[in-house]
Structure 1
Amino acid sequence: MEKLDTLDMSILTMLQENGRRSYTEVGKYLNVSEGTIRSRINRMLKDGVFEFVIHTNPNKIGLNVQTIIGLTTKLGMQEKVAKQLNQFSEVRFVGAFSGKHDLMLQAYFRSNEDLVDFVNNQLSKIDGIVSADVSLELKQYKDSFSFIEKK
C-alpha cells in the first residue's frame, strides 16, 4: 500500500462529508483533474483504505433494539466463537478485546423478544461461550464513521 498524501486525505475528507460527490466536483474543489481523483480513489479502494457503504439508520428499518454484548470464552476458543458470530445477520460488529470480556459484539434486533431469542437459542448453542453480558442501548449520542479531521 502506498502512503497516503495530503491529496488522498483531502479526497477522503470530502467523501466523508458527502460520499455521493462526483469525481468531477471533488477534482474541481481540489484543483486536480477528474482522472486524478478517479485513479486515487480506485487505488485507495484497492488498498482497502476505505469502502463505499450505505449507513442505514437501524430505527428507520425496524431494528429498534441495539445491544452491545460482552462474551467470555473458554481458553483457546475465542477465534472459533468469533467466526461463528460472524454468520449472524443481526451481528454488525465482532472484535477481540482486552479486559473483562474476550469478545465484544454489536447487534440489532426488531424487538426485545428477538434479542432474548438470539441469546437463548443462538448464542447458547455456540460451543466455547462461557458467559454473555448483554447491554441495551438506551440513548445514542453519536454514531459516526468519520475518522478524518476537517481542516
Structure 2
Amino acid sequence: MGIELDDLDRAIIGELEQDGRRAFREIARSLDVSEGTVRSRFRRLEEDGVLKITAFAEPGRFSTARLALLFLKVAPEHHESVVARLTACREISYVSTTLGRADVFAQVLTADDTALWRFLQERVRPLEGVLETECTLEVAVHKLWFDKEGPARPAN
C-alpha cells in the first residue's frame, strides 16, 4: 500500500534527489519552511520506507569492476525466497519485483567479469525456483532520479 505524499513531501524529496547530503537548513530556506518541519518530514518519510539516502557510483568510472542488471524468471511459489536470498547478497544493491519478461530485477556489482560469472553460476542460477536468468552489463547511467515534481499524476 502506498503512502500519500503532499506537495511539501515531494518538494523535500526533490531537493534531496539533487543532493542527498544537503543540510535541512538549506532545504528549509529554499522551500520557505522551518528546519524543524523539514527534519520531521524527512524522519517520517524515512521511517515509512519512502526515502532512503544512498550513494551511487558511476559504473563507467570503474576500471575492472562490473555493474550488471539481472532479470530473473522465478517460479511463483519461490518468489519470496528468491527475493530474500538476493537481498541478503552484499554484491546486490537493488532488488525489485517486476511485471513483464522477468519476475525479479536486481542490480549487482562485482570486482570483474570473472567474479560476475562466478556470482551468477554459483549464487544466482542455483537458487531454488530460478527458472531463467538474463544478465546485462550497465556501462553508463544517464538519469537516476525522478523529476522534481515526482511521478506524473493521472488526469482527472
TM-score (norm 2): 0.76
Aligned-residue RMSD, C-alpha: 2.7
Matches within 5 A, 1:64-83: 64-83=65-84
Q: Which residue of 2 aligns with 1:54?
A: 55
Mapped to 1, the partners of 2:129 and 2:25 lie a distance apart of 52
1:63 Cα shift? 6.4
Say if 1:58 and 1:70 are closer, same or farther in 2 by CA, change over 3 A: same
Q: Which residue of 2 aligns with 1:23?
A: 24
1:147 Cα shift? 4.6
Residues 11 and 148 of structure 2 are in contact (CA less than 8 Å); yes or no, is this contact kept in structure 1?
Answer: no
Q: Is the partner of 1:77 in helix, strand or coil?
A: helix
1:107 Cα shift? 1.0
- Which runs of no fewer than 5 residues in structure 1 stay unpaired? none
Letter in 2 for 1:140: A
Say if 1:20 and 1:68 are closer, same or farther in 2 by CA, change over 3 A: closer
Aligned residues: 149
Say if 1:49 and 1:109 are closer, same or farther in 2 by CA, change over 3 A: same
Say if 1:88 and 1:147 are closer, same or farther in 2 by CA, change over 3 A: farther
- Which runs of no fewer than 5 residues in structure 2 stay unpaired? 151-156
TM-score (norm 1): 0.78
1:115 Cα shift? 1.0
Q: Percent sequence identity over matched residues?
A: 26
